[in-house]
Amino acid sequence: MSSPRNKAVFKAVDATPVVPSSQEEKSHEAGEIFGRNVFGLAVMRKRLPKDVYRKLAKTIRDGERLNPEIADVVANAMKDWAIENGATHYTHWFHPMTGLTAEKHDAFLAPSADGQVISEFSGKMLISGEPDASSFPSGGIRSTFEARGYTAWDPSVPVFIIHQPYGATLHIPTYFYSYSGEALDRKIPLLRSISALSRQALRILKLFGNTSAGYVRAMVGPEQEYFLVDKNLAVLRPDIMLAGRTLLGAPSPKGQEMEDHYFGAIPGRVMSFMQDVENELLALGIPAKTRHNEVAPGQFEIAPVYEEANIACDHNMLTMNMMRHMAGKHGFVCLLHEKPFAGVNGSGKHNNWSMCDSDGQNLLNPGTTPQDNAQFLVFLAAVLRAVHQHSTALRLGTVGAGNDHRLGANEAPPAILSVYLGEQLTEVLDDIIHGSHARNRKSPVMEVGVSTLPPLPVDLSDRNRTSPFAFTGNKFEFRAVGSSQSVAPVNIALNAAVACALDDIATELEAAISAGAKLNAALQDLLPRLFKQHMPVVFNGNGYSAAWPKEAAKRGLPNYNNTVAALEHYSDPEVMNVFLRHGILSEREILARQEILLENYGKTLCIEGNLMVNMVRSMVLPQCLEAQTKAADAVLKTRAVLGDKSAASEEGYFKLLHTHITALQTGVEKLEKAVEKTQGVQDALEQAKEARDSILTAMTECRVHADTLERLVEDSLWVLPKYSELLWAH
């Protein structure tokens, strides 16, 4: 009789691609689809009075506060557009500290005096809402009996409509804050960090004579990696459904050793899924650009075009939501966990980051003129200073129980934050530090701001896959971010750290110029000192080598190789000051975030520990004990027929089973006690430490024996879909 596992495998193998829901639009140009479900500037221009449109466009462009006098007009136009496009409800869409998005839907309906209903959506409804704040993580900012929390429209991100088979809803991107005014989300501090970066960057631009730029924005392009698992197989794995990763599972006989999946032909079912996702993203104004197979079997990637950081963050959250939703339609479960499968590559979210002024100039582009080169070197110095001085703050943007399984493994950079510049750019900085000319140039002295710095090509060198923070021609690629994580925390930290560094640099240059120095002379004095001070953070070598952690320690670079070790330092004065200095987070908001992240870590490991206990006891041990009984019977039968000496092979198999079964039974009891002990700890930091030190250790011990037993037990008895099936059935 066929087992549920075998039936699921056959269904997965026989599954055919689902025709994308928007198949009829494939013949259309992407430009016809792009932004169709967005209340963007083009739609506003058509539907709003000219003066209202100008005021709203200025609010969006300059980040100014919305004029309440135009709110009702905007809301009415937005409502009419939404209803015309099938929307029956609206929601304030926000980013609480759960790491996910949240929404509460309200209908465009209000009772009228004649007993009927009318469509209603006022400026007040558009601008603000009041969801219950007590049920969201607050880190102590909100007590459970204090329910008030508020959402407020963020006009800098376009309003959009999500269509579902059962209806459509107008989504209004919003902030989420407490009754006492603290940020309960990640959007508010992200916007504060963007403003801080802009203010300090404009000071530098002004020194170089640029008075036309009105603002500077952080530009972000997050690459999104993910796994797809056949739904029929996934539902037979409680760990996949509840934890998003496999807690048990022996390696597949074939994994990624042949390197045949990366950039290979995309399977038909997967291509259909990708096309459906991309069509929906394009309609939402999300510029999906790249799709391909990733390194591990069953792993894929989607990447967008660069956008302003706040918009990029919202769009990435939408992308993850869309992938999860669309996967079910195509018979998949989309796994965004950083390490769904042991032994093969995990998933990251490379955060490509740069700065761009209001004139469209990329401030991390080396440029082709001497003046551009000097300006580029100042901004480069600021980034090096930020990563070197504030690496702990940046590391805190990548923490998480899931990412701990990935960082430092073969597909991810180590937890030590260093900067990769490439050989050519590093050589230029060495020349500046030592006041010497480059090897291929005639000038006896490297003078900043003069033509001795040649135009630098986009590809300065080969790519270093082991670097957590690599310069890639006109941007930095922060590769330590986890695939399931919001990109808001890492960009908050990055913007804040660079703003502090730019502030330091601008203050020194302004003082020198006020004292009568010329800019070039001030730079000649400042940049060599800065580059020399922060060169210890530059590392172009192999981040996976055993020698690097020792070398990093000599350079004074911290190595917080797990989430708890990093989070302990969130409340260090020098770390807090990164966020306090420019008002990005208050002290209370910082401590609240530390508390939330610690609690989340402890809860995650407790859930996984309990889940492993249940799976071992209900889905592993019964099958193993049955196999042991069969093995014991085989020993007895062989002895009876052939004698004691002839049963050596059967006895060896029985003893091997018995050894691992006994060890697994002992291990699962130890794990259960570890979870109980951890859950009894009240302090968030101590609970997280207990979870790390006891639950993780016990889970590792259990897994060794469970995975060995998977290889030993007769295949027909094993109920959990195996790695060979989960990774390859597409």
pLDDT tens-digit series, residues 560-586: 999 999 999 999 999 999 999 999 999
| pLDDT surpassing 90 at residue 640 | no
| pLDDT surpassing 70 at residue 146 | no
Residues 6+ apart with CB under 8 A from 402: 244, 245, 337, 338, 339, 482, 484, 604
What's the whole-number mean pLDDT along residues 164-187? 91
| pLDDT surpassing 80 at residue 463 | no
Q: Which range, of 78-92, 317-331, 453-467, 648-662, averages the lowest pLDDT?
A: 453-467
Half-sphere exposure of 270 (CA within 13 A, CB side): 24
pLDDT score of 9: 79
* SS3 (DSSP) at 507: helix
**Of 552 and 114, more confident:** 552
What's the whole-number mean pLDDT along residues 324-341? 95
What's the whole-number mean pLDDT along residues 178-198? 94
pLDDT score of 145: 63
- Which residue matches tokens 């300065």? 460
Question: For the residues of 327-393, what is the DSSP string, one character each?
Answer: HHHTTEEEE--S-SSTTS---B--EEEEEEETTS-BTT---SSHHHHHHHHHHHHHHHHHHHHTHHH
- Label residue 410 by pLDDT band (50, 70, 90): low
What's the whole-number mean pLDDT along residues 658-686? 97
- Label residue 395 by pLDDT band (50, 70, 90): very high
Q: How many percent of the chain have pLDDT more than 90?
A: 67
pLDDT score of 69: 84
pLDDT score of 280: 94
Classify the C-alpha dihedral 698-704-707-709 as positive or negative: negative
Angle (deg, nearest 10), helices 309-329 and 187-207: 140
pLDDT score of 401: 95
Q: What is the CA radius of gyration of the chain?
A: 29
What's the whole-number mean pLDDT along residues 433-457? 51
Q: Which range, of 62-66, 265-269, 593-597, 626-630, averages the lowest pLDDT?
A: 62-66
Q: Which range, of 26-40, 231-245, 560-574, 647-661, averages the lowest pLDDT?
A: 26-40
pLDDT score of 337: 97
Kindly report the average pLDDT of the chain as a whole number.
88
pLDDT score of 111: 58
Of 176, 198, 76, 52, the residue nearest 125 (C-alpha): 76
pLDDT score of 446: 44
What's the whole-number mean pLDDT along residues 236-258? 92
Six-digit token pair at 17?
A: 């691609």
Q: Which range, of 163-172, 249-258, 555-564, 690-699, averages the lowest pLDDT?
A: 249-258
| pLDDT surpassing 80 at residue 646 | no
Of 490, 497, 489, 486, the residue nearest 579 (C-alpha): 497
* Residues facing residue 164 across a β-bridge: 167
- Label residue 471 by pLDDT band (50, 70, 90): very high
pLDDT score of 445: 44
Six-digit token pair at 327?
A: 């996967």
Q: Which range, of 104-118, 193-207, 251-265, 710-724, averages the lowest pLDDT?
A: 104-118
| pLDDT surpassing 70 at residue 386 | yes
- Label residue 113 by pLDDT band (50, 70, 90): low
| pLDDT surpassing 60 at residue 457 | no
230 close to 8: Cβ distance less than 8 angstroms: yes
Q: Which range, of 112-116, 139-143, 408-412, 545-549, averages the lowest pLDDT?
A: 112-116
Q: Tens digit of pLDDT for each residue in 603-622? A: 999 999 999 999 999 999 99
Angle (deg, nearest 10), helices 187-207 and 488-514: 30
| pLDDT surpassing 50 at residue 442 | no
pLDDT score of 214: 92
Of 273, 278, 53, 63, the residue nearest 156 (C-alpha): 63
What's the whole-number mean pLDDT along residues 675-701? 97
CA distance linking residue 175 with residue 254, whole number of Å: 47
CA distance linking residue 81 with residue 267, whole number of Å: 38
